Amino acid sequence: MSKFPKFFCVFSFAYFLVVVPCVEAVKLSTNPVSFNRDIRPILSDNCFACHGFDAKKRKGGFRLDEPEGAFTPNKDGNMAIIPGKPEKSEMWKRITTKDPDESMPPAESHKKLTAEQKQLIKRWITEGANYQKHWAFEAPKPPLVPKVSSPKASIQNPIDNFVAARLKKEGLRSSPQADPATLIRRVAFDLTGLPPTPGEVEQFLADKSADAYESMVQRYLDSSKYGEQMAKHWLDVARYADTHGLHLDNERQMWAYRDWVVKAFNKNLSFSDFTTFQLAGDLLPSPTAEQLTATGFNRCNVTTGEGGAIDAEFIFRYAVERTATTVQAWMGLTAGCAVCHDHKFDPISQREFYSFYAFFHSSADPAMDGNSLRTAPLTQLKTPEDDKRLQEMDAAIKDSEGKFNGVLASVVYQDPATKNPPPAPREDEVIWLDDEGPAGWKTQTPPNFVTAENGKVFSGKRAIRRQAADVEQDVFDSDTASLSIPASSKLFAYVYLEAANPPKAVMLQFLLENWEHRAVWGDIDAIGWGEKDKPSRARVGDLPKPGGWVRLEVDPEKVGLKPSDKLKGIAYTIHGGTVYWDKAGVVGRVDPVNDSTHSLVAWTKQYEGKEPKELPENLRSIFKNTSSTNRSPEQVTQLRNYFLSKVCVEFKPSFDPLNSALAEAKKKREEYNEAITQTFIWRDLDKPRESFVMLRGAYDRPGEKVTRNVPAIFPPLANTTNATRLDLASWLLNPQNPMTSRVAVNRFWQQFFGIGLVKTADDFGSQGEPPSHPELLDWLALSFRDSGWDVKGFVKLLVTSATYRQSSQVTPSLLARDPENRLLARGSRFRLDAEQIRDNVLYVSGLLETTMGGKGVRTYQPPNIWEPVGFVGSNTRDYKQDTGSALYRRSLYSFFKRTAPPPFMTSFDAPNREQICTRRERSNTPLQALQLMNDVQHYEAARALAERMLSEGGATAKDRLVFAYKTVLSRAPSAQELVIVSQALDSHLIRYQADPEAAKKAITFGESKARGNLNVTELAAYTLAANLVLNLDETVTRN
């Protein structure tokens, strides 16, 4: 529940009872000079670079940024400033001298003081040269809400008192409230990013109750679209995107962070939790998935995986970027300057910068992102459904293991080597591939298995059919299998060539270290791999006779294999034709006593003292660390079990299906688990890195060692020994901190009024602009903080103010007086943001798909946005557009590739998310015009809107055009507007009647199909009329 209303009560009481005549505005020239308002900007711009905070760059021993420096004589005994005596002050002499060698600022700085600036400085010195700490570094003090005698309607809450008092001083008046249709459209766009529906407009217009406006606001605040609109702004601050940003710019998976931001606004997470979760969620006791996801804030930075890059350099850069981003996002300061030297304008020394940086220097993420979708640390975001499915799969694995163990327990095995008399050597066939492949086998493309009912089968229940135009393969390989080649053996496989369609050649291929082992029957040139007539492409015989099963046999030596080689895979290859394959393996002379696939003793012997890489880790270590004489019974059992279930030919028929089933069950679980969404999170290294001042900002020049701390100009950290990011977050939220709340409320103000009270929302330092309404800013900052950082409450406070509700109509004289509307004598009017422009046309045309969250979608994008810039090996080089409803999702959910962002975003001033952006430009360009007229997304929406006009808009052209205006602009057209649009519509109708072919084309642009029941000519003409309405300045403007 918002805590703001209590303010309203107190203050509205005040306006009713107290009507105090306002003091006449005092002329500026008789006001005492204020250091912060009048002098600091001049000094900061012209003097501080050489006479400021940066001791190394300080010239002549003069320091002007603080009284201690200015009033102390330098080594020559001169004082920069003698309060009250400009003529004796070195500063005054220097800025007024005619001597070019003495003159300040020096000519080479290209800085120059104006006559007025000089006079101000003189007056300031005369009045005593009173210094003030830079305004933003003083904690806000509760200001007195000014009492004003304005009419009741123009004072809705204390914001209006501050604004009205200032207007009065300037001799201006506020504007009347905007008309209700304009108001609801303004509120709807500001709170949800979408226009109101005609129904919502009607409801609001019909509501005559006193709180009609507030209930309307509340409806939009309660909408889940509110979170999407608010998130859009924060994602610019967080520099969120769907790719890594540097070099390959591959995809990264952290959209859960984006969705978290939306949810946080929708559930009205307090700004304090919003801060703590993002900066230190991982350090909270037993952090929830939500808190961990939030720490993604500082994993959103651009990272590289570029070959050749130096790790230390990027570890350093990431920490610098995260520090600067945090400082700018929460404190509105540009700390980046202090990376290389003491800040010239603001009191942040290089040492202090690196002390702050030390909070972010121990991130556990690697210097190289590996160009992978997921770069640790990560958290997996399981849904309850995922948990259920995983449990089921675990049960399936357990079941398979149970069966496996049952069979293993029942096996009766006697080693042939221990038999008496020992069995004689014999001819033996080992099958590698029949109805199943080797244990754990994988295929590149699933084989087309056939049964006797729909094909030819030689052995078992099924065979593989392959029909090819050119060279095609069925490949089976396995990480765990080792198909061992016995002495004097032959490799074999059965094949059946379709008589009606025989291939040019058939080939068997074997995987040892690589696949360079090929045996070909038929045309040796048909399949071009390997070297002709070498083991990598050996011709074994003619093409087998078609129309029957033929056994292919090849001597292992011919394809570069020898006895005791262990194969990992086999492939069937053909060139053209139709072929069936069935049963492959090896036949050879086997001596069970000495053969490692029959005798456990023989199998064990070959590995003694070695680390065979084909075996699992536990067995490898047994062989490496023990000998046959000193093994524990468990170790002996482990070896025996492995041998019997995976190696011994005698039990192969029993174990093969069990091995396959178990491997399959495990694979299924792994695949499922792998597909569950993960997201980048922050975790510190177990052992924090030591941090140093890096000389001149070079990653390889560490200087003095530093520990975590905050700049001395601010209140101290509560805990300075082993301070954590959690301490940092509480420090930011501490009531003594002068920055956090001001910076946050100013950004909200900017969002709702177009320009912040501090115009430079990214810089509250001395190079930034001072606030237009300092007392209002402080009042807002304190109210926000004291409300428990209630964001929705604060937003409501802003949009229910009379200041917000003013009409934006402007007279020439007011425009001349205040072109940027900094005094707030009128409502604000500005172009919609990129996302809103696109969402708007989708919404009014009925195309918008409102599903929330999930992986970024690939909407319409012209060809060759990604391709011409993408690295050849990048997985975001080729843009594959989505189809269906994904094309019509809200813009927030479109996939954002940083090195080539979507044009619908960048053409309309969205940042490319490579670094923090707290303030978007609002440009007005011909490329925007082209896009709004011709982009398939916009044009298709025009057609969809035209369909609505024709189907829902009434029977006459007039009704339909009124419908379009009401839908798009929340108002009916004026009579003159109607005439203009009707004339355009008529001429389009005439033109398309004359050229029905063109009409047909004009309604087919885009993926969605036009409704079939509509007249094509009419629809084409209405499409252009809709295109006209959607291109109106008023359509793309929030007024």
- Tell me how far, at minimum, the Cβ of 115 lies from another protein, in Å: 19
Q: What residues between 556 and 615 interact with another protein by CB under 8 A?
A: none
Strand-pair category, 538-541 with 449-450 = unpaired
112: number of Cβ within 10 Å: 10
| Nearest-5° Cα angle at 848, 842 to 853 | 125
Alpha helices in 193-224 (DSSP H): 198-206, 212-222
- Judged by CB under 8 A, the stretch of 137-145, 259-267, 413-421, 1003-1011 that binds another protein is 1003-1011
Angstrom distance (rounded) from CA 1016 to CA 1028: 18
Q: Is 931 in the site for another protein (CB under 8 A)?
A: yes
Q: Is 989 in the site for another protein (CB under 8 A)?
A: no
Given candidates 502, 530, 592, 901, which one binds another protein under the rule CB under 8 A? 901
Long-range contacts of the stretch 28-36 (C-beta < 8 A, 24+): 32/127, 33/120, 33/123, 33/124, 33/127, 34/132, 35/124, 35/130, 35/131, 35/132, 36/132, 36/134, 36/135, 36/770
Nearer to another protein, 498 or 914 (CB): 914
Element (H, E) at 791: helix 791-799
Nearer to another protein, 111 or 551 (CB): 111
- Judged by CB under 8 A, the stretch of 184-192, 253-261, 839-847, 934-942 that binds another protein is 934-942
C-alpha distances (whole Å) from 343 to each of 35, 48, 218 are: 20, 10, 45
Q: Is 372 in the site for another protein (CB under 8 A)?
A: no
Given candidates 926, 975, 1009, 1012, which one binds another protein under the rule CB under 8 A? 926
- Tell me how far, at minimum, the Cβ of 493 lies from another protein, in Å: 37
Given candidates 288, 925, 951, 993, which one binds another protein under the rule CB under 8 A? 925
- Tell me how far, at minimum, the Cβ of 760 lies from another protein, in Å: 7
Strand-pair category, 569-590 with 566-567 = unpaired
Q: What residues between 98 and 117 interact with another protein by CB under 8 A?
A: 110
Angstrom distance (rounded) from CA 254 to CA 482: 40
Nearer to another protein, 626 or 809 (CB): 809
Packing angle of the helix pair 180-192, 198-206 (nearest 10 deg): 130
- Tell me how far, at minimum, the Cβ of 829 lies from another protein, in Å: 5
Angstrom distance (rounded) from CA 670 to CA 675: 9
Q: Is 765 in the site for another protein (CB under 8 A)?
A: yes
Given candidates 507, 561, 600, 900, which one binds another protein under the rule CB under 8 A? 900
- Judged by CB under 8 A, the stretch of 277-285, 543-551, 590-598, 802-810 that binds another protein is 802-810
Q: Is 870 in the site for another protein (CB under 8 A)?
A: yes
Given candidates 485, 988, 989, 1038, which one binds another protein under the rule CB under 8 A? 988
**The two structure tokens encoding residue 898:** 């940083």
- Tell me how far, at minimum, the Cβ of 1031 lies from another protein, in Å: 6
Nearer to another protein, 168 or 826 (CB): 826
- Judged by CB under 8 A, the stretch of 81-89, 129-137, 413-421, 1029-1037 that binds another protein is 1029-1037
Nearer to another protein, 783 or 907 (CB): 907
Q: Is 242 in the site for another protein (CB under 8 A)?
A: no
Secondary structure of residue 88 in the 3-state scheme? helix
Nearer to another protein, 586 or 1019 (CB): 1019
Given candidates 247, 575, 640, 971, which one binds another protein under the rule CB under 8 A? 247
Which string of x and - marks every residue 248-267 that binds another protein (by CB under 8 A)?
xx------------------
Nearer to another protein, 337 or 587 (CB): 337
Q: What residues between 948 and 977 interact with another protein by CB under 8 A?
A: 974, 976-977
- Tell me how far, at minimum, the Cβ of 715 lies from another protein, in Å: 22
Nearer to another protein, 779 or 904 (CB): 904
Q: Is 756 in the site for another protein (CB under 8 A)?
A: no
Nearer to another protein, 476 or 753 (CB): 753
Q: Is 772 in the site for another protein (CB under 8 A)?
A: no
Q: Which residues contact 226 (CB under 8 A, 6 or more apart)?
A: 191, 192, 220, 265, 266, 792
Angstrom distance (rounded) from CA 54 to CA 338: 10
- Tell me how far, at minimum, the Cβ of 605 lies from another protein, in Å: 39
Q: Is 46 in the site for another protein (CB under 8 A)?
A: no
Angstrom distance (rounded) from CA 744 to CA 798: 13
Q: Which residues contact 928 (CB under 8 A, 6 or more apart)?
A: 907, 908
| Phi-psi label, residue 259: left if phi above 0, alpha if psi -120 to 50, beta otherwise | alpha
Q: Is 1033 exposed, middle or buried (0-12, 13-18, 19+ CB in 10 A)?
A: exposed
| Phi-psi label, residue 491: left if phi above 0, alpha if psi -120 to 50, beta otherwise | beta
Give backbone dihedrals phi and psi of 85, rounded to 5 degrees, phi first.
Answer: -130, 80
The answer to whether the beta carbons of residues 303 and 369 sit under 8 Å apart is yes
Nearer to another protein, 14 or 309 (CB): 309
Q: What residues between 700 and 719 interact with another protein by CB under 8 A?
A: 700
The gap from C-alpha 304 to its chain's centroid, in whole angstroms, comes to 15
Q: Is 32 in the site for another protein (CB under 8 A)?
A: no
Nearer to another protein, 175 or 597 (CB): 175
Q: What residues between 328 and 357 interact with another protein by CB under 8 A?
A: 334, 336-337, 340, 345-346
- Tell me how far, at minimum, the Cβ of 54 lies from another protein, in Å: 12
Q: Is 304 in the site for another protein (CB under 8 A)?
A: yes
Given candidates 163, 216, 246, 968, which one binds another protein under the rule CB under 8 A? 246
- Judged by CB under 8 A, the stretch of 476-484, 577-585, 607-615, 901-909 that binds another protein is 901-909
Q: Is 1001 in the site for another protein (CB under 8 A)?
A: yes
Given candidates 74, 654, 928, 1008, which one binds another protein under the rule CB under 8 A? 928
- Tell me how far, at minimum, the Cβ of 323 lies from another protein, in Å: 13
**The two structure tokens encoding residue 270:** 């307090």
- Tell me how far, at minimum, the Cβ of 244 lies from another protein, in Å: 11
What DSSP assignment string belongs to 120-170?
A: HHHHHHHTT------GGGSPP--PPPPP----GGG-SSHHHHHHHHHHHHH
Q: What residues between 804 and 843 interact with another protein by CB under 8 A?
A: 808-812, 815-816, 819, 829-831
Residue type, 681: I
Element (H, E) at 410: helix 384-410
User: Helix/strand/coil (H, E, C) string of 259-282?
Assistant: HHHHHHHHCCCCHHHHHHHHHHHH
Binding-residue total with another protein (CB under 8 A): 103
Instruction: Using the structure block, give the residue that is written with the tokens 């190079």.
Output: 767
Which string of x and - marks every residue 654-693 that binds another protein (by CB under 8 A)?
----------------------------------------
- Tell me how far, at minimum, the Cβ of 977 lies from another protein, in Å: 6
Q: Is 899 in the site for another protein (CB under 8 A)?
A: yes
Give backbone dihedrals phi and psi of 738, rounded to 5 degrees, phi first.
Answer: -80, -15
Angstrom distance (rounded) from CA 780 to CA 96: 42
| Phi-psi label, residue 754: left if phi above 0, alpha if psi -120 to 50, beta otherwise | left
Picking from 427, 447, 422, the residue whose alpha carbon sits closest to that of residue 435 is 447
Given candidates 245, 556, 738, 953, which one binds another protein under the rule CB under 8 A? 245
Angstrom distance (rounded) from CA 413 to CA 406: 15
- Tell me how far, at minimum, the Cβ of 916 lies from another protein, in Å: 9
Picking from 510, 536, 540, the residue whose alpha carbon sits closest to that of residue 432 is 510
Q: Is 315 in the site for another protein (CB under 8 A)?
A: no
- Judged by CB under 8 A, the stretch of 5-13, 64-72, 244-252, 535-543 that binds another protein is 244-252
Q: Is 981 in the site for another protein (CB under 8 A)?
A: yes
Give the number of residues written for the chain: 1039
